[in-house]
Amino acid sequence: MSLSPSPRTQAGASQSGRKILLAVDASAESEDALQWTLANMYRPGDVLHFLHIVPRQEPATTYGAPPVDFVPQQNPKSVQRLAEQGLSFIKERLLPMLGDMQPEPVVHIVKSDTDTDSIGNVLCQRAEALAVVAVVMAGHSKSKVGDFFMGSVTNFCTHHCKKPVLVVH
């Protein structure tokens, strides 16, 4: 596993396989999306890119404020802790599902703002920069009210990403 694309991985991907971007968070739905990708889309030689986005801000609910507000991160170490937790989830729960897959998957941990548009933009921009054939995302089941107030990164990506977006439910 590499934390950023190595020349070997990039060269191997362009010669032998496709690049597939999996947007992951620390959820069972991310595991389901990976299982679906392996069963239905992955071909030997493809390069899997895991993208985990770490928020630079915490929802204001942490501080007792309404859920639609965000406040600046109070503890600068929180961002690093969240990045480490995301990487740990990928290492402990996702990578073991791959066995000894070659080429090795690439893990991207990106720090971003936490509103739906900014996270969605990061996903779409990374998909374009990597020239992936598709973005695979888990569809989290939120209510329509939750989507209205908190937004949906999946919904944003399906409407704004220039690469195909596959939503696993």
The Cα–Cα gap between 90 and 24 comes to 8
Q: Of all residues in the chain, what percent carry a pLDDT higher than 70?
A: 70
Q: Of all residues in the chain, what percent carry a pLDDT higher than 90?
A: 53
**In degrees rounded to 5, what are phi and psi of residue 41?**
-130, -40
DSSP SS3 for 9: helix
The Cα–Cα gap between 44 and 48 comes to 11
DSSP SS3 for 147: helix
**Distances from the Cα of 90 to the Cα of 23, 36, 63, 76, 114, angstroms:** 11, 16, 28, 23, 20
pLDDT of residue 77: 84
pLDDT of residue 21: 98
Tens-digit pLDDT profile for residues 54-95:
877 655 444 444 444 454 544 668 888 989 999 999 999 999
Sorting pLDDT into bands at 50, 70 and 90, what band is 46? very high
Residues 153 and 146 sit within 8 Å (Cβ to Cβ): no
Q: What is the mean pLDDT of the chain?
A: 80
Looking at the predicted structure, is the pLDDT value of residue 8 above 50?
A: no
Q: What is the pTM of this model?
A: 0.77
